[in-house]
Amino acid sequence: MLTLRPVRVPAKGAKFDLVALIEHKVGAGLRDGDVLVISSKFVAMSEGRVVRLQSVKAGARAKTLAAEHHMDPRLCELVLRESDRVIGGIPGFLLASREGLLTPNAGIDKSNVKHGAVILYPRRADVAAQMIREALMFSRGVSVGVVICDSRLSPTRKGTTGVAIGASGIEAVQDMRGMRDLFGNVLKVTAQAVADDLSSAAEVLMGESDESTPIVLVRGLKKALQKGSEYGPRRFAVRMEEDVYLRSLGFTGRAYA
C-alpha cells in the first residue's frame, strides 16, 4: 500500500544544509525503497537562490517585455537570464523554456519568500537529488529515491498539479512501449510519468500557501529503485517542436520576439 507522510519544517529565509535537515527530520526512520519528494523551492532556498529585485538591473529587452506584459522589468530580466528562450506571454507572465521544460516566468516565484525578493529554480535539480540520495546512503545505509517537484499549470485545466524537475534513484519515466493492455493491445507510445505522479500526490500534502510541508515521505512504491538513475529537466522534456499542444497551435520553434 502506498502511503505518504508530510514532513513539516519551520520557514527558512536563507541558505541552509538540506541534507542535515532531512537527517534530523526523517533520517532515522528511512527504509530501503522509500522515496523523498522535496519542493524545488525548498531545494533552491537551501542553495541560496533568493534574489532581491532591487539588486537586478534590467536590460533593454527586459524593459520591452515588461512594457508589453505589464511586468516588473527586473523580473523580466531574471526570466531572460534563467530561461533558454521566451516564447510568449500574457499580462503578468512570460512563458519560457528552461532546459526544455515550459514554465511561466522560468520557474521564478514570489511566494514563500520575503517581500521584495524572488526565488529561482535549483541550479541543477538532478544533481541535488543525486547528492541527497547518496548522502543518505552513506549516513544511513538505505537505498531511497529522491524527487524534486514543482507545481505547474496544465493547458486548459484549472489549478496546479505537481511535476518533477529532477529525480535520482527511480525510473522517473517508465517506458511501457511493447507491453499489452487488458485486451491484449500492444502499447506503442505510452510512458508513465512516475515522478510526476508522485509529485502530484505529494502536492496534496505540501499545499500552496502556509502549510510548511516541503518534504513528503512516500512508502510502498511497487517499483524497483535504480542506482545511478538521474533525471534532470531535459530527460523529462519532449522537444517543443514535437509537443502535441505546441504543434497543434502552430509553434515554429522560434523564440518570442
Domains and CATH numbers, the chain: 1-48+122-251 (3.30.1330.100), 50-120 (3.90.1660.10)
User: What local confidence, expressed as pLDDT, does residue 208 receive?
Assistant: 72
Q: To which H or E segment does residue 175 belong?
A: strand 174-175
Q: Residue 44 pLDDT more than 90? A: yes
In DSSP terms, which residues pair with 38 in a beta bridge? Answer: 148, 215
- State how far the alpha carbon of 52 is from the alpha carbons of 3, 44, 114, in Å: 38, 14, 9
User: What local confidence, expressed as pLDDT, does residue 209 receive?
Assistant: 65
Query: All 3 cell numbers of residue 100?
Result: 526544455
The tens digit of pLDDT for each residue in 142-157 reads: 999 999 999 988 888 8
Q: Long-range contacts for 174-183 (Cβ within 8 Å, ≥24 apart)?
A: 174/223
Confirm if 148 and 38 have CB atoms less than 8 A apart: yes
Q: Residue 256 pLDDT more than 80? A: no
Reduced DSSP (H G I as helix, E B as strand, rest coil) percent helix, strand, coil of the chain, to 5: 35, 25, 40
C-alpha span between 143 and 114 (Å, rounded): 36
The tens digit of pLDDT for each residue in 8-17 reads: 998 887 899 9
Read off the pTM: 0.91
- Cα torsion 180, 181, 184, 188: sign: negative
* Strand 145-153 to 35-39 pairing: parallel
